[in-house]
Chain A
Amino acid sequence: DGGITQSPKYLFRKEGQNVTLSCEQNLNHDAMYWYRQDPGQGLRLIYYSQIVNDFQKGDIAEGYSVSREKKESFPLTVTSAQKNPTAFYLCASSLGESSYNEQFFGPGTRLTVL
């Protein structure tokens, strides 16, 4: 079955540590996205990538980094510079950069920084 996987589902880290969240898709989608969701809030775009080896900052990129070395993978690193990293992180993918493409979401990773 095609889809998007994120691991782990729950992640706990100590303050000051970097942590990398995994996102893999086998939908053959060109575009991939990372969002952050806080309780009772909408989704805010962190980074997105429309093609391998290229990515752009979203609205809240500070304190985060990404890489896109393979079409299937778009890992997100939450660095110690992110002031309030505890949140629900969602990865999504879509066919490409045309003006509209339905985004397919992974199950999310809930990060708690202690």
Chain B
Amino acid sequence: GQSLEQPSEVTAVEGAIVQINCTYQTSGFYGLSWYQQHDGGAPTFLSYNALDGLEETGRFSSFLSRSDSYGYLLLQELQMKDSASYFCAVSGQGGKLIFGQGTELSVKP
């Protein structure tokens, strides 16, 4: 079957750096995506890794190791507005996404 694991909750302070890990077991793996969802809102795309290594987009970076079936999202210079749920998602055949359960990030002042 297909499964993804990520921590359910993470807490950090404003200005800090936080890493959200994601491990996966899946067939037909094409890449790992990250989405952000504020409470009650629509998920929005943050990043995508198809190859091993680090992708950087502003304050957010995402890493993938295909051999370890592992990736992470790194958020730097945390701001209060970064408080949200973060989902990793595996891309499969036909554009399908399989989502993890989500990590709720709380940023404290």
Residues of A within 8 A of B (CB): 31, 33, 35, 40-45, 48, 50, 56, 58, 90, 94, 96-108
Q: How far is the CB of B94 from chain A (nearest CB, A)?
A: 5
Chain B: how many interface residues by the 8 Å CB criterion?
Answer: 25
Residues of B within 8 A of A (CB): 4, 8, 30-31, 33, 40-45, 48, 50, 87, 91, 93-102
Q: Which residues of A contact B4 (CB under 8 A)?
A: 42
Q: Would you call B101 and A99 a contact (CB within 8 A)?
A: no
Which chain A residue shows the least CB distance to B92? A99
20 pairs of residues in contact across A and B, judged by CB atoms under 8 Å:
A42-B4, A42-B99, A43-B43, A44-B99, A48-B95, A48-B96, A50-B95, A97-B94, A99-B91, A99-B93, A100-B50, A100-B91, A101-B95, A102-B48, A103-B97, A105-B42, A105-B44, A107-B41, A108-B41, A108-B42
**A45 in complex: contacting residue of B30, B43, B97, CB < 8 Å:** B97
B contact patch SS? mixed
Which chain A residue shows the least CB distance to B4? A42
Docked complex Cα distance between A33 and B33 (Å): 16
Q: Would you call A102 and B45 a contact (CB within 8 A)?
A: yes
A-B pair count, CB < 8 Å, reads 67
Q: Which residues of B contact A101 (CB under 8 A)?
A: 95
Q: How far is the CB of A8 from chain B (nearest CB, A)?
A: 15
Q: Which residues of B contact A98 (CB under 8 A)?
A: 95
**A43 in complex: contacting residue of B41, B45, B87, CB < 8 Å:** B87
Which chain B residue shows the least CB distance to A50? B94
Q: Which residues of B contact A94 (CB under 8 A)?
A: 95
Known contacts A99-B30, A100-B91; is A90 also within 8 Å of B42 by CB?
yes
Q: Which residues of B contact A103 (CB under 8 A)?
A: 45, 95, 97
Docked complex Cα distance between A100 and B40 (Å): 26
Known contacts A99-B31, A102-B48, A105-B42; is A41 also within 8 Å of B96 by CB?
no
Q: Would you call A42 and B95 a contact (CB within 8 A)?
A: no
Known contacts A48-B96, A99-B31, A100-B30; is A41 also within 8 Å of B102 by CB?
yes
Q: How far is the CB of A6 from chain B (nearest CB, A)?
A: 9
